[in-house]
Structure 1
Amino acid sequence: MTAALLSMFSLVTPAAVYAAPETTTDTQEVSSDSTFEMSTAYPGISVKPGETTTFDLDFINQTGSGQDAALSIKDLPDGWEGYFRGNGGQINKVHIQSSGEVSEGLATLSLTVPEGTAEGEYNVTLEAVTDDGESSDVTLTLNVSEEENGASTFTAEYAEQQAASGTAFSFDTTLVNNKGSEQSFSLSAEAPDGWQVSFTPSGESNAVASLNVEAGASQGITVSVTPPETLTQGDYTIPISAISSSEKLTEELKVTITGSYAVEVSTPSGNLSVDAYANDKKAVTLSITNTGNVDLTNLNLTSSAASNWDISFDESTIDLLEAGATKEVTAYITPDSDAITGDYVASITAANDVATSTASLRVSVKTRTSWGLAAVAIIVVLGAGLGYVFKKYGRR
């Protein structure tokens, strides 16, 4: 009896020991083949009644083979509208490769909150089911509120700048889309007549009139502002706007023109060529014009010319020259007594601590000589002598 029982035990035990690892192995394989998940980066957001928002859906598939997954909305509040989008159109299925990596933004849920929806918290449940029966749910929580908790922003880092007229100003601004979906913003400015304003996205070289900003993203924009050359002193405000289908964002840029300082040296006719004689003082009328928009004071007149030349002025300092005004000054140029015939350059400069201008006069020196008069006298004498000879001896 005992021997029989021992014999039976020896037959059963090996089978039981053999079966146990086989069962364990099957269980592990099933567990490793069941990894499939749908998710979204921002499952909870705030929205306003009447607003349409989107959620980018990510998928991961570790089942060991590519899977088609049917998409559906399991739970949607009454009156709300939602559908899935992909590749520019409406979809109801996605294919997920078994790469083991997350397929980001493979599908997008577009969700519209009806006008008049009461404030509060609402849940939307999404489901993805593969052909193999694997499923994954995502619950979205939307806080409906009339307040602009998710309002986007358009701001300038340094909104106030100053410089002289003719200066091009550059403002660094940032456009932030705080909505749950991508927005297209048109860019514009309300500048006075004659001003030029352009918008250039950071990192790019071409100006644009509009741009797209993804949900939750920001975009740097350089706003270039060029006022007219003849602008007078003062403060100027340039409102700029970024407008989408649901938002109008504004910012004010302020420019302070401190004035332009400029002077010009010329002659009343504009002719910068004069004739002169060696060691002979030549008077030249100069026009000193304030071409800026700010009065100039203490303008000093200086000169430079060839060695041993002398240049002086009837007024070497102009105490006040009003914006746009012209004052005539006489310069006296005396070439060197040994200057030979030819062209020379004499420079006249008008300058103070904020403005300067130089005019280059071409001085043509003509050297006087007595040979011309002597030649005339000789001709006269010879003519008289010939006349006397003809008169005395002509009849012989």
Structure 2
Amino acid sequence: MLEEIVNPRKKLYPSGESCAHAQVRNVRQPAYEKVWLFILLTMAVTVFLFASPIKAWAAGGLEMSTSYPGITAKPGENLSFSVALQNSLGASLNADLSVTSIPDGWEGYFNGGGNQVSRVHVNSGGDGATVTFNVKIPDDVSEGTYPISLQADAGEGIVSAMDLVINVNEAAVGQSSFTSQYPELQGSPSTSFSFNTTLANNGAADQSYSLSAQAPEGWQVQFKPSGETNQVASLNVEAGQSQGIAITVTPAANATAGDYKISCSAASAGETLTTDLTVTITGTYDLSLSTPSGRLSLDAYANKETPVTLSITNNGSADLQNVSLTSSAPDGWNVRFETPTVETLPAGSTQEVTAYITPGSDAITGDYVTSISAGSSETSAKADLRVSVKTHTVWGFVAVIIIIALAGGLVYVFRKYGRR
């Protein structure tokens, strides 16, 4: 009673709790219910997420990639990227391919099996799928860095994207090349010239090159892979690799001395590479000396000049300069030439020159040898002429008359003085 008098608002419940304690208990009970409700909702969401395995795999189940996503190229070049798609979802799928971003004026498309494609079947596991993404860079594009975005979408949130970066440079570091170790060779027309060349594919994709050459008429050009004997008209070079090529050049049989250019080309789908070769024909040097008839004998008289026509022929493939004529004759003889020096004798040509031979005044009847030589700084020729020295007919008559006169005189003497 005293407690009720002192604190008339305090009321005891049958359980012995005061009214204040009962109010506190009533306030705390709804808070506990909210905590348990939050825990139950969290567990439900977790169970729901783990109960949806396809959507959980979707974030990483399809992957699009390429070995070289950033390359350097030049304006007007055609590029090819090998794009691999990996599927780790446990089941094969079909993915739509698209170019989500590409610079204005550029062309880009996917290629597979020799055809342009927009959808690809991707097997599950290690096989996956592979397509080629082709890019055509405009000829008038400015130097700089250009991004391209690609996407593969299999639906239901299964998406993979990939970014490419192309650095356009007029003097692209990755530019392919066709070079020769020794681009200039020289020799005679009968020589087969062999050039060692290297074809380097510095691009991002394998290339097939068609080989050709522009050479003078009648010349032959052959291409052979280094170390092989078979002639080829085309060959494949893997990306980042090079191929040695032996180029054999055979001149025409009638090739004259001079410099000859041979332009060799290796053409692929995106570019044409060239290398220029030079063959210097030094020519062959061959000179012959004779007479127009081929007869190397003549008649002459002592102390009388006798002409003989000589034929000088250049049988080589190179022109001859300053062909000089000289002679060797018996003592007391004289030999002179109408043209002592032929300034130019073209290859394959013949020039006639007259020589004048004068036997010595004391030369008696008989055969003599006079040697004639024609020569330049490169070659020479020699001809031996047999000169038959004759006696004039009048002296023969004189001798006969003298002999007859002597015989007649003897007869007269014998007749007149013989009987005495």
Q: CA RMSD in A?
A: 4.8
* Residue 61 (structure 1) aligns with: 87
Q: Aligned AA for 2:85?
A: F
Alignment of 1:247-326 (within 5 A): 247-260=271-284, 293=317
SS in 1 for 2:82: strand
2:146 pairs with 1:122: yes
* 1:84-103 mapped onto 2 (5 Å cutoff): 84-100=110-126
1:168 is aligned to 2:192: yes
Q: Tell me by how many angstroms 1:259 deviates.
A: 4.3
2:98 — aligned with what? 72
Note if contact 2:287-2:379 (Cα within 8 Å) is conserved in structure 1. no
- How far is the alpha carbon of 1:48 from its aligned partner? 4.0
State the secondary structure of the residue aligned to 1:100: strand
Q: Which amino acid aligns with 1:167?
A: T
Q: Percent identity?
A: 45
Does structure 2 retain, via aligned residues, the 8 Å contact 1:293–1:324? Answer: no
Per the alignment, residue 178 of structure 2 pairs with 154
Partner of 1:138: 162
**CA offsets 1:107-164 (integer angstroms, 9 cap, x no match):** 1112234455443222212122346754332110112344444433110122222333
Contact 1:166/1:260, CA 8 A, preserved across alignment: no
Query: Structure 1 residues 207, 110: CA separation in 2 closer, same or farther (over 3 Å shift)?
Result: closer
8 A contact 2:287–2:380 mirrored in 1? no
Check the 8 A contact 2:122/2:128 in 1, yes or no: no
Between the aligned partners of 2:62 and 2:274, the Cα distance in structure 1 is 45
Answering whether residue 251 of structure 2 is matched by residue 227 of structure 1, we say: yes
- Aligned in 2, Cα 1:90/1:204: closer, same or farther, shift over 3 Å? farther
Q: Which runs of 5+ in 2 are unaligned?
A: 1-46, 294-312, 321-367, 386-420
Contact in 2 for aligned 1:172/1:222 (Cα 8 Å)? yes
> CA 1:206 to 1:240, structure 2 compared with 1: closer, same or farther past 3 Å?
closer
| Preserved contact between residue 78 and residue 270 of structure 2 (Cα < 8 Å) | no
Structure 2 equivalent of residue 41 of structure 1:
67
CA deviation vs aligned residue, 1:6-28 (integer Å, no higher than 9, x gap): xxxxxxxxxxxxxxxxx9xx89x
Mapped partners of 1:90, 1:196: distance in 2: 40
Cα distance change on mapping 1:132 and 1:64 into 2, 3 Å: farther
Instruction: Determine the C-alpha separation between the residues in 2 that align with 1:239 and 1:318.
Output: 47
Work out which of the two has the higher radius of gyration on C-alpha atoms and give 1 or 2.
Answer: 2
Q: Give the distance between the partners of 2:272 and 2:372, measured in 1 at CA.
A: 54
Q: What residue is the counterpart of 1:206 in the other structure?
A: 231
Deviation for aligned residue 1:321: 7.0
Aligned with 1:238 (options 262, 274, 293) = 262
Any idea what SS the aligned residue of 2:91 has?
A: coil
Q: Does the Cα contact within 8 Å between 1:291 and 1:324 map onto a contact in 2?
A: no
Cα distance in 2 between the residues matched to 1:59 and 1:68: 11
Give, as a single letter, the amino acid of the residue that structure 2 aligns with 1:197.
V
Change in Cα spacing, 1:132 to 1:201, as seen in structure 2 (3 Å) is farther
> Could you list the runs of 5+ residues in structure 1 that have no partner in the other structure?
1-22, 270-288, 296-313, 331-396
**Cα gap change, 1:112/1:246 in structure 2, threshold over 3 Å: closer, same or farther?**
closer
* Residue deviations 1:191-236 (CA, integer Å, cap 9, x gap): 333322233344461342x556565443433211001344444544
Task: Give runs of aligned pairs for residues 336-351 of structure 1, distance below 5 A.
Answer: none
SS in structure 1 of the partner of residue 95 of structure 2: strand
User: In structure 2, what residue type is equivalent to 1:194?
Assistant: G
Contact 2:286 2:379 in 1 (8 A): no
- Structure 1 position 166, deviation (Å): 0.5
- Give the structure-1-normalised TM-score: 0.52
Structure 1 residues 81 and 258: CA distance shift in structure 2, 3 A: closer
